[in-house]
Amino acid sequence: MGKISKLLKMQKKLVVPKGQYNSFGKYNYRSAEDIMVALKVVQEAENTVVVIDTDIETANGWNYINATATLYDADDGEVIAVTHGKAREAESKKGADESQITGSATSYAIKRALSGMFLIDDEKDADTLNDSEDYTQKDNAKTVILSQLEKKLLENNININNFVKTLFKKRKNDLTEKKIEATQSRFTSAIDKYRKLTKQ
């Protein structure tokens, strides 16, 4: 399976308990920091490195944090996988200044990127300062089915980023939920088409 096997092993090994507690909502959740701490051990075992990049974009008066997680093979520096996460800054939050609001959205975006890469189910998670419930819940559903598609592709030794770029000329996070579901329903024919296009 080549380098993808390293990612597959990391996905199987990485376990991140929900070690944080939101006293307001009365639920446990895992933070980006929790994932990164657990990831250090798994990275060392597979000789890989995860690099996180973030940037801010503004749309319709809202600030959105974009996070990109890139998994590198430490042996030769080649990229194994790339995933993205996105979160909207809350308009305001009691007891929080602007830097805390930005920091919370950044942490959440990073968590989404890492969760997508390592197939961590965060459907019931929410960060303590993230108020964009409409955005988050809709995107969570998409993340879950996208992760399911990624897992099926990995089982066939196919990188999802290459798959999406070849078939749809897009990044995987730009696919609509409807398009992902349609691809899953025609999974065998989609794989056949991909292999013909890439001559695998």
Phi, psi of 26 (to 5 degrees): 60, 55
Residues 188, 183: Cα–Cα separation, whole Å: 9
- Give the tens place of pLDDT for each residue, 109-126: 999 999 999 988 765 555
Exposure string (b/e) for 63-77, b if CB count within 10 Å is 16 or more?
Answer: bbbbbbbbbbbeeee
Tell me the pTM.
Answer: 0.60
pLDDT tens profile 76-118? 999 999 999 998 887 655 445 566 777 888 999 999 999 999 9
Our CA angle for 15, 7, 108, nearest 5°, is 55
Helices (H), the chain: 4-13, 32-46, 98-118, 133-155, 160-168, 177-185, 187-198
